[in-house]
Amino acid sequence: MKSIKCSEIAETVKGEIIGDENVSIFNLNRIEFATQGELTFYSDPKFLESLEQSNATCIIVPKDLDRKPESGQTYIKVDDPYSAFIKIIKLVDFISQEAATGIHKSAVVGENTFVDESVSIGPNCVIGNNCRIEEGSIIESNCTLQDNVQIGKNNRIYPNVVCYKDVIIGSNCIIHAGAIIGGDGFGFTENREDGSYTKIPQIGNVIIGDDVEIGCNTTIDRAVVGSTIIGNGVKIDNLCQIGHNCVIEENTGIAAQTGLAGSTNLGKRVRLGGQVGIAGHLKIGDDVTLIAQSGTNKSISQGGVYFGSPARPQMQAFKIEAVLNNLPELARDIAKLKDKK
């Protein structure tokens, strides 16, 4: 990372400097491992020993910390050190990801396509006909946008992403490497005579809202007709599968290896843990949380935390698990009772 002076850090987090404000930081690290030239933070008393032994050049600490920095060390005092450290991470990330504007000479851009002059398109990208890429967006190397794709403002699309035709992406989105947006859904009819399959053409599209993040190697299938819709603020982890015609409403979070079958509808602020599975044509209501490895083949309308397969309210599911864990002893006791007869 580029060097940042402690004075700039303090200004960003609105903190009070104790020590040298002109010293420069070259890296960020955890308090247990931070050394000279690095910035870290201290907020939890269980890390007091790490603070006392730290060789970090600059440490963000609570305002009420009754301790002076070591020689050659600078403290920045704030109300919430963790939140302040996150602000610095965001600042460093922004600086490190600045990309040169313009279209790389190896990129191919189709006819009747608009690319704002502030856009960056990396090596070996292929942009189809009738596309539109708005200001501030970055398309990294080896990406493919098929015909009629629309990309809004200030998006970052990492290498090897493919957007099939007619995909629409809003603004301020992040799409990580290897994601496939708009591929065909699993749509076939089975022929009764011989059990073979006939493909159903998938002629819809995918619409992604604003402030969405999509993880590496996640796939979002295009609709059979109409649109697969990903609402504003949705966060999808790596290796997820979103089936055709799914609708995911705003601020929903989906962890890795989760799969939604076609036409699933997730409400607002739904939370799906890793490896959750949801059968097709179901409705999951607002504020539902499914704990990791849960599965459901029925709709869930009431907000709350659910667990298991089939998914049940958390406390009910845990009680069932407790009984199941005692089954060997129960079976042994029943066998003893039978022997006494």
CATH of the domain at 29: 3.40.1390.10
72 shares a domain with 221 = no
In the chain, which ranges are continuous DSSP H helix? 6-13, 48-53, 81-96, 314-325, 327-340
| pLDDT at res. 341 | 64
Q: Residue 308: which residues within 8 A CB-CB, separation 6 or more?
A: 294, 295, 317, 320, 321
Q: How far apart (Å, rounded) are the C-alpha atoms in residues 77 and 239?
A: 40
122 and 41 in a common domain? no
Rg (CA), the chain: 26
The residue assigned the tokens 């060997």 is 328
Q: Give the integer Cα–Cα distance in Å for 56 and 33.
A: 8
Look at the chain and report how many structural domains it folds into: 2
Residues 6+ apart with CB under 8 A from 289: 270, 271, 272, 273, 304, 305, 306
Q: Which residues are catalytic?
A: 244
Q: Is the full-model pTM beyond 0.75?
A: yes
Answer yes or no: is 103 within a domain. Answer: no
Same domain, 137 and 173: yes
Domain match, 146 and 57 both: no
Residue with tokens 């009772």: 337
- Note whether residue 32 is domain-resident: yes
Say what the pLDDT of residue 323 is.
Answer: 84
113 and 185 co-located in one domain:
yes
The token pair that represents 35 in the structure block:
């050394």
CATH number at residue 267: 2.160.10.10
| Alpha helices (H) along 54-101 | 81-96
Structural contact between residues 128 and 143, judged by C-beta atoms closer than 8 angstroms: no
Residue 170 lies in a domain: yes
Longest dimension (CA), the chain: 89
In whole angstroms, give the CA distance from residue 253 to residue 237: 8
113 in the same domain as 61: no
Residue 246 maps to a domain: yes
User: Are residues 92 and 113 part of one domain?
Assistant: no
The answer to whether the beta carbons of residues 82 and 101 sit under 8 Å apart is no
| Run means of pLDDT, 10 residues per run, the chain, 341 residues | 88 94 93 95 94 95 93 95 93 72 95 96 97 96 98 97 98 97 95 94 97 98 98 98 98 98 98 97 98 96 95 90 84 79 64
Same domain? 175 vs 273: yes
**In a shared domain, residues 274 and 211:** yes
Q: What is the pLDDT of residue 219?
A: 98
Residue 159's SS3 state is coil
Structural domain contains residue 15: yes
Of 63, 96, 129, the domain-final residue: 96
Asked if 116 and 28 sit in the same domain, the reply is no
Q: Would residue 334 count as lying in a domain? A: no
Tell me what pLDDT residue 42 has.
96
Phi and psi of 122, rounded to 5°? -80, 180
Residue where the block lists tokens 């504020």: 287
Do 163 and 54 lie in one domain? The reply is no
Confirm if 68 and 51 have CB atoms less than 8 A apart. Answer: no
Please report whether residue 131 resides in a domain.
Answer: yes
Nearest to 148 by CA among 231, 222, 229: 222
Q: 127-159 burial string, b = 16+ CB within 10 Å, else e?
A: bbeebbbbebbbbbbbbbbbbbbbbbbebbbbb
Are 270 and 284 in contact, with CB atoms under 8 Å apart? Answer: yes
Where among 51, 74, 96 does a domain terminate?
96
CA distance 184 to 220: 9
User: 95, exposed or middle or buried, with CB in 10 Å at 0-12, 13-18, 19+?
Assistant: exposed
Tell me whether residue 337 is in a domain. no
Inter-CA distances, 138 with 24, 38, 125, 143, 183, Å? 29, 29, 11, 11, 22
Domain that holds residue 79: 4-96
Tokens 């960056």 correspond to what residue? 120
| Same domain membership, residue 275 and residue 178 | yes
Of 96, 121, 139, which residue is a domain's last?
A: 96
The pLDDT value recorded for residue 334 is 82
Interstrand relation of 213-214 and 174-175 (parallel, antiparallel or unpaired): parallel
